[in-house]
């Protein structure tokens, strides 16, 4: 039995939770849009062709903001192809995946879909091959009230009111050799700064994200950030890292420590932003919009693109199936975001439907939840109010690339408006139960335990599937007691748990 404890106090608050931390990402790829969110003729489709079985699951997932349209498609994407009468929209080559993009769904339909779901749209601007003027036209089209060339075109397209899109991404992984028109830090920093400056002249309410290195492993990591931040610091609000976890050695202990790597990455990138602030003697703080995060790299290369020369119109891509250990890691990574809520204000799980996604669909058939759906939906359901500072006492283990990994990964949140305190506690010991004590100073429970959820299964490779969609679902955690300000629980080995008390 592992023994671990957490101590928090009602007075020691880390940060308010920005609910946009429970965001997601829809890339125009594979069966995500065509067959995922949009399938005219599907039994649950509405008059727009939006699948309502998917919409119900997206609502249950608790998605607060959705980034669109990419991702890698972005550096070849012209937003002007995806507006206006559908029958007049061009067929274009998507060079990121060697497929044809028909533009049957574009910006306005995406925003319609967000309205039906009840979520906030977030748009990405192609700063790689379209550049400055196209970016300004896009913001004018979406956000200007009317009486100008691009805003009047939106009105002509049937949208009298501006879309008021708040968060805009300045490019996507612009340093990646895999992009059309990849940038050097110098060219990107300058372009991002000038574009951001002018976007804020069009709409001062926008919030803009600046791209760091595409990954922490890029050779120019650190130097890229310094250069682009020094150029664009005054005009942007967020830095927007991406991170994809790997289990190359089939080593669960190592794999689950990716949550700690993500935590370290957030702190590292925040330090780079603050170093630039310090150099300028500025009190401004750049926040984090973690624009893409998930498990990656299990995709065979042939699943990432269509075979050369075929140019299919519709192609299933990266339809990954997720296991119990994936679910535990996604829960841990969600905690890394919450435990840095003072700096992480937006985060987009990548992605939403069918492509590396928590929600899967069958053409003409059902939609269902993968294992990773559960920690994401539970975090969003219980992630209200404030994250508290914690003092954690837990034995730890050493993984191959990340050392001193505490078996206990905890997050404590308190919502003063409802009086609810929520403890998320993962036991990362793979063989032993955990005896957990949580000292809740000033947060004693008068009504005791309200709800509990346990995610665990002895078979770490178990999955959900269309035939067995409820193989892995949350169960009640019975071993919880609250006595005044002390909460005690026994957590199964390899488990992720949510405990709510009032």
Q: How do 23-25 and 344-350 pair as beta strands? A: parallel
The values of phi and psi at residue 454, to 5°, are -120, 130
How many whole angstroms separate alpha carbon 7 and alpha carbon 18? Answer: 23
Which CB atom, from 18 or from 173, has the smaller least distance to ligand AHR? 173
Q: Which residue has the tokens 């976007």?
A: 199
Decide: is 420 part of the binding site for ligand AHR (CB under 6 A).
no
Ranges within 165-184 binding ligand AHR (CB under 6 A) = 172-173
CB of 293 to ligand AHR, least distance (A): 10
> Binding of ligand AHR at residue 71 (CB under 6 A)?
yes
For tokens 């790597």, the residue is 261
Count CB neighbours of 415 within 10 A. 17
Q: At closest approach, how far in Å is the CB of 369 from ligand AHR?
A: 20
CA distance 183 to 196: 17
User: Hey, is 191 helix, strand or coil?
Assistant: helix
- Nearest residue (CB) to ligand AHR, 175 versus 263: 175
**Interacting stretch for ligand AHR, rule CB under 6 A, among 30-38, 70-78, 183-191, 262-270?**
70-78
Question: 278 or 312: whose CB is closer to ligand AHR?
Answer: 312
Smallest distance from ligand AHR to CB 7, Å: 38
Which residues have C-beta within 8 Å of that of residue 251, sequence separation ≥ 6? 399, 400
Per-residue interface string for the shown chain with ligand AHR, residues 325-354, x marking contact by CB under 6 A: -------------------------xx---
Where are the strands (E) in 228-385, listed by range? 238-239, 242-245, 287-295, 344-350, 359-361, 367-369
Query: Does 72 contact ligand AHR by CB under 6 A?
Result: yes
In the complex, minimum distance from the CB of residue 30 to ligand AHR, in angstroms, rounded to a whole number:
10
Q: How many residues bind ligand AHR (CB under 6 A)?
A: 9
Burial class (CB in 10 A: 0-12, 13-18, 19+), 473: middle
Using CB under 6 A as the binding rule, the residues of this chain from 252 to 311 that contact ligand AHR are: 292
Binding mask 5-44 for ligand AHR (x = CB under 6 A): ----------------------x-----------------
**Interacting span for ligand AHR (CB under 6 A) from 16-24, 65-73, 104-112, 121-129:** 65-73
- The one catalytic residue among 292, 320, 325, 454: 292
Using CB under 6 A as the binding rule, the residues of this chain from 351 to 370 that contact ligand AHR are 351
CA distance 116 to 118: 6
Which one-letter DSSP state was computed for residue 135?
H
Q: Which of 501, 332, 333 is nearest to 427 (CA)?
A: 332
Cβ of residue 70: shortest distance to ligand AHR, in angstroms? 6
| Residue of 27, 128, 173, 454 marked catalytic | 173
292 is catalytic: yes
- Window of 13-21, 67-75, 233-241, 374-382 that interacts with ligand AHR by CB under 6 A: 67-75
The span of 40-48, 69-77, 326-334, 401-409 binding ligand AHR (CB under 6 A) equals 69-77
Q: 337 or 405: whose CB is closer to ligand AHR?
A: 337
**DSSP code at position 282:** -
CB closer to ligand AHR out of 96 and 421: 96
Rounded Cα–Cα distance for residues 310 and 19 (Å): 42
Q: Does 212 bind ligand AHR (CB under 6 A)?
A: no
Q: Counting contacts by CB under 6 A, is residue 70 touching ligand AHR? A: yes
Classify the C-alpha dihedral 283-184-78-344 as positive or negative.
Answer: negative
**b or e along 434-459 (b: 16 or more beta carbons within 10 Å of the residue's beta carbon)?**
bbbebebeebebeeebebbbbbbbee
- What residues are annotated to the active site? 173, 292
Q: Where along the sequence are the contacts to ligand AHR (CB under 6 A)?
A: 27, 70-72, 172-173, 292, 350-351
């Amino acid at each position: 039995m592992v023994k671990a404890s957490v101590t928090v106090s009602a007075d020691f608050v880390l940060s308010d939770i920005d609910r946009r931390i429970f965001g997601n990402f829809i890339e125009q790829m594979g069966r995500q849009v065509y067959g995922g969110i949009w399938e005219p003729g599907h039994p649950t489709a509405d008059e727009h062709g939006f699948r309502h079985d998917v919409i119900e699951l997206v609502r249950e997932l608790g998605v607060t903001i959705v980034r669109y349209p990419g991702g890698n498609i972005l550096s070849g994407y012209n937003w002007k192809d995806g507006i206006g009468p559908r029958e007049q929209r061009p067929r274009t080559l998507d060079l990121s995946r060697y497929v044809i993009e028909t533009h049957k769904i574009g910006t306005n339909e995406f925003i319609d879909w967000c309205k039906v779901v009840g979520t906030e749209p977030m748009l990405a601007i192609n700063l790689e091959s379209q550049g400055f003027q196209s970016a300004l036209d896009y913001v004018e089209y979406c956000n200007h009230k009317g009486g100008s060339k691009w805003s009047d075109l939106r009105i002509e397209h049937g949208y009298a009111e501006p879309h008021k899109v708040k968060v805009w991404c300045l490019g996507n992984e612009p340093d990646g050799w895999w992009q059309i028109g990849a940038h050097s830090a110098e060219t990107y920093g300058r372009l991002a700064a000038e574009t951001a400056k002018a976007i804020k002249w069009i709409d001062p309410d926008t919030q803009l994200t600046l791209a760091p290195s595409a990954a922490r492993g890029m050779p120019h990591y650190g130097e890229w950030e310094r250069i682009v931040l020094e150029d664009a610091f005054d005009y942007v609000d967020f830095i927007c890292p991406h991170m994809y976890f790997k289990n190359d050695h089939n080593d669960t202990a190592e794999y689950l420590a990716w949550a700690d790597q993500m935590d370290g990455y957030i702190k590292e990138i925040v330090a780079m932003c603050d170093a630039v602030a310090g150099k300028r003697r500025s009190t401004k703080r750049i926040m984090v919009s973690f624009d893409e995060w998930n498990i990656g790299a299990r995709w065979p290369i042939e699943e990432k693109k269509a075979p050369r020369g075929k140019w299919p119109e519709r192609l299933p891509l990266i339809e990954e199936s997720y296991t119990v250990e994936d679910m535990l890691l996604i829960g841990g990574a969600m905690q890394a975001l919450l435990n840095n809520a003072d700096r992480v204000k937006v985060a987009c799980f990548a992605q939403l439907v069918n492509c590396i996604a928590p929600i899967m669909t069958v053409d003409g058939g059902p939609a269902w939840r993968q294992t990773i759906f559960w920690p994401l939906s539970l975090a969003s359901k219980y992630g209200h109010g404030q994250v508290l500072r914690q003092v954690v006492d837990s034995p730890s283990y050493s993984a191959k690339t990340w050392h001193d990994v505490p078996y206990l990964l905890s997050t404590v949140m308190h919502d003063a408006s409802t009086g609810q305190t929520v403890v998320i506690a993962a036991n990362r010991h793979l063989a032993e139960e955990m005896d957990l004590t949580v000292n809740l100073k000033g947060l004693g429970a008068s009504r005791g335990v309200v709800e509990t959820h346990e995610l665990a299964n002895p078979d770490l490779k178990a999955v959900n599937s269309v035939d067995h969609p409820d193989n892995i679902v949350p169960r009640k955690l019975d071993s919880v007691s609250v006595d005044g300000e002390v909460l005690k629980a026994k957590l199964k080995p390899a488990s992720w748990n949510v405990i709510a008390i009032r």
